Amino acid sequence: MARMYSRNKGKAGSHRPSNPATPSWVRYKEHEVELLITKLAKDGNSASKIGGILRDTYGIPNVKLIMKKTIGDILKDKKLASEIPVDLLSLIRRSIAINKHLEINKKDETAKRGLTITESKIRKLIKYYKQTGKLSSEWKYDPKRAGMFAE
């Protein structure tokens, strides 16, 4: 199936190992991993960035195998998760950057199309998150006040 806003098809990628067991070379215990996650979250990192840091720096390939919970669930338990989901926040930041670009370059039609596509993605995600209960039903996105959400 093709992607929504381009003519690209899906791409093959790497797959996780089929054996769902903690590797023997991981030396961190549950408590230590939880402390690392809270420390990295307090530094202002998102859940996906925390997972990358744990993988690359500490050699923890998959937190879920060790903790039996995802990083997002651990952050929710510790009340460190952001109120706006990370994917929505990154789209809002992208629309802010495109708007700043369009203030300087008013005739950039490609950027205008990019802004239209980005804001439609934002509206679709908001609708989904309101249905699933991750955002309150009163939550509204206003492109003119979008900078307030990105901070």
Would you say residue 60 lies in a domain? yes
User: What is the per-residue pLDDT across 90-122, written as a single tens digit (0 to 9) for each?
Assistant: 999 999 999 999 999 999 999 999 999 999 999
Q: Which residues have a Cβ under 8 Å from the Cβ of 25 and sit 6 or more positions away? A: 59
> Structure pTM?
0.75
pLDDT bin (cut points 50, 70, 90) of residue 26 is confident
Q: What is the dihedral of CA 26, 37, 17, 87, to 10 degrees?
A: -170
Shared domain for 71 and 90, answered yes or no, is no
State the residue range of the domain holding 49.
Answer: 30-77
Instruction: Compute the average pLDDT of residues 17-38.
Output: 87
Residue 90 lies in a domain: yes
Query: Do 52 and 70 sit in the same domain of this protein?
Result: yes
Residues 141 and 117 in one domain: yes
Max distance between CA atoms of the chain, in angstroms, equals 58
Residue where a domain stops, chosen among 22, 52, 77: 77
Residue-wise DSSP of 12-29: ------S--S--TT----
Asked whether the predicted pLDDT for residue 32 surpasses 90, the reply is yes
User: Can you give the pLDDT at residue 6?
Assistant: 78
pLDDT at 132 over 90: yes
CATH code for position 133: 1.10.287.10
Residue 148's alpha-carbon distances to 69, 90, 107, 143, 145, in angstroms, are 31, 13, 26, 10, 6
Q: Report the phi/psi class of residue 79: left, alpha or beta, with left for phi > 0 and alpha for psi in -120 to 50.
A: left
pLDDT at position 150 is: 65
Q: Are residues 94 and 137 in the same domain?
A: yes
Residue 126 lies in a domain: yes
Please check whether residues 66 and 103 belong to one and the same domain. Answer: no
